[in-house]
Amino acid sequence: MNKMYSSSNLEHHDSFNELKRLKIKHVRNVKGPTEMYLQPNTTSQELGWHYKEHFTMSQKPSWTYIERWPIVQNEMTKFVDHMKRNDRDFIFF
Protein backbone atom coordinates (compact mmCIF):
# COMPACT_ATOMS: atom_id res chain seq x y z
CA MET A 1 0.00 0.00 0.00
CA ASN A 2 1.51 3.31 -1.11
CA LYS A 3 -0.28 5.52 1.41
CA MET A 4 1.78 5.92 4.55
CA TYR A 5 -0.22 8.08 6.89
CA SER A 6 -1.16 8.31 10.49
CA SER A 7 -4.24 9.76 12.13
CA SER A 8 -2.26 12.84 13.18
CA ASN A 9 -1.41 13.69 9.55
CA LEU A 10 -4.93 13.64 8.15
CA GLU A 11 -7.95 15.61 9.18
CA HIS A 12 -10.77 13.46 10.47
CA HIS A 13 -14.36 14.40 9.75
CA ASP A 14 -16.95 13.08 12.17
CA SER A 15 -19.88 13.85 9.94
CA PHE A 16 -20.48 13.01 6.31
CA ASN A 17 -22.53 16.19 6.01
CA GLU A 18 -19.59 18.28 7.20
CA LEU A 19 -17.28 16.57 4.71
CA LYS A 20 -19.83 17.14 1.95
CA ARG A 21 -20.18 20.84 2.90
CA LEU A 22 -16.41 21.35 2.79
CA LYS A 23 -16.26 19.62 -0.59
CA ILE A 24 -18.96 21.90 -2.02
CA LYS A 25 -17.17 24.98 -0.68
CA HIS A 26 -13.92 23.72 -2.26
CA VAL A 27 -12.08 23.82 1.06
CA ARG A 28 -8.64 22.35 0.52
CA ASN A 29 -6.56 20.55 3.08
CA VAL A 30 -3.91 22.79 4.61
CA LYS A 31 -1.26 20.12 4.20
CA GLY A 32 0.04 19.19 0.79
CA PRO A 33 0.45 15.64 -0.50
CA THR A 34 4.14 15.58 0.45
CA GLU A 35 3.21 16.30 4.07
CA MET A 36 0.45 13.66 4.21
CA TYR A 37 2.15 10.76 2.39
CA LEU A 38 5.70 9.44 2.40
CA GLN A 39 5.64 8.43 -1.27
CA PRO A 40 3.79 9.84 -4.30
CA ASN A 41 0.39 8.27 -4.95
CA THR A 42 0.49 8.57 -8.73
CA THR A 43 3.18 8.62 -11.37
CA SER A 44 2.40 12.23 -12.23
CA GLN A 45 3.17 13.29 -8.64
CA GLU A 46 6.69 11.87 -8.86
CA LEU A 47 7.84 14.82 -10.94
CA GLY A 48 7.56 17.43 -8.21
CA TRP A 49 7.62 15.23 -5.14
CA HIS A 50 11.14 16.07 -3.96
CA TYR A 51 11.27 19.52 -5.56
CA LYS A 52 11.72 21.46 -2.30
CA GLU A 53 14.56 19.21 -1.16
CA HIS A 54 16.62 19.51 -4.35
CA PHE A 55 16.05 23.15 -5.27
CA THR A 56 16.39 25.68 -2.51
CA MET A 57 16.46 29.45 -2.85
CA SER A 58 20.06 29.59 -1.58
CA GLN A 59 21.37 27.92 -4.74
CA LYS A 60 22.81 29.98 -7.57
CA PRO A 61 20.54 30.52 -10.57
CA SER A 62 20.84 28.16 -13.48
CA TRP A 63 23.11 29.03 -16.40
CA THR A 64 19.95 29.43 -18.48
CA TYR A 65 18.72 32.29 -16.29
CA ILE A 66 19.10 35.69 -17.93
CA GLU A 67 18.82 38.76 -15.75
CA ARG A 68 16.69 41.33 -17.51
CA TRP A 69 16.72 45.10 -17.08
CA PRO A 70 13.62 46.50 -18.77
CA ILE A 71 13.61 50.08 -20.02
CA VAL A 72 11.03 51.80 -17.86
CA GLN A 73 11.15 55.21 -19.54
CA ASN A 74 11.66 54.93 -23.28
CA GLU A 75 10.68 57.51 -25.89
CA MET A 76 7.15 56.21 -26.28
CA THR A 77 6.32 56.19 -22.57
CA LYS A 78 7.77 59.69 -22.19
CA PHE A 79 5.60 60.88 -25.09
CA VAL A 80 2.43 59.29 -23.71
CA ASP A 81 3.08 60.68 -20.22
CA HIS A 82 3.67 64.14 -21.65
CA MET A 83 0.49 64.00 -23.74
CA LYS A 84 -1.59 62.78 -20.80
CA ARG A 85 -0.43 65.72 -18.70
CA ASN A 86 -0.88 68.38 -21.39
CA ASP A 87 -3.81 67.25 -23.54
CA ARG A 88 -7.04 66.24 -21.82
CA ASP A 89 -8.49 64.78 -25.02
CA PHE A 90 -5.47 62.61 -25.81
CA ILE A 91 -6.40 58.98 -26.48
CA PHE A 92 -3.56 56.63 -27.27
CA PHE A 93 -5.66 53.92 -28.91
Cβ neighbours of 17 (radius 10 Å): 9
Query: Which stretches of 1-93 are assigned E, i.e. beta strand?
Result: none
pLDDT of residue 69: 82
pTM of the model: 0.29
pLDDT per residue as tens, the chain (93 positions): 444 444 444 555 578 888 788 888 877 777 777 777 788 888 877 776 666 655 555 666 677 778 888 778 888 889 988 998 998 888 876
**Number of Cα atoms under 13 Å in the Cβ half of residue 22:** 13
pLDDT of residue 56: 56
